[in-house]
Structures are given as C-alpha cells and as structure tokens.
Amino acid sequence: MKGGIKMKDKLSKKLLGVTASILTLFALSTAVSACFWVLYQPEEPKCLIED
C-alpha cells in the first residue's frame, strides 16, 4: 500500500506544479495587458492648457 501512496503524492505534486505554472502565465498576461492601459496618456485639449 505504501507504493500507492507515494505514487499519489508524486501525481499531486506534478498536478500542483502544472497548476502553478498555468496560473503564473495567466497572471503575467494580465499584468502585461494592464501596463498598456496605465501608460496611455491622451493629449490634453487646447482649452485646458494654461498660458
């Protein structure tokens, strides 16, 4: 029975590793797309520019 437990532990560790990798890629793609919105600055209208 001990062999079955070790196999289950290895499988769960691999599954957790794959899940962590997928979630990391998702977080990176979300962060990159958010950066474009933060860096965007529209031009200031001329009526708002003080002389």
pLDDT in tens, 11-49: 999 999 999 999 999 999 888 877 776 677 788 888 888
Please state the domain count of the chain.
1
Phi-psi region of 49 (alpha: psi -120 to 50; beta: other; left: phi over 0): beta
DSSP H helices, 2-49, are: 2-39
Which tokens sit at 18? 């794959």
Query: 9-46 burial, b for 16+ CB within 10 Å, e for fewer?
Result: eeeeeeeeeeeeeeeeeeeeeeeeeeeeeeeeeeeeee
Domain range holding 31? 2-48
Judged against a pLDDT cut of 60, whether residue 1 lies above it is answered with no
Contacts 24+ apart (CB under 8 A), 19-24: none
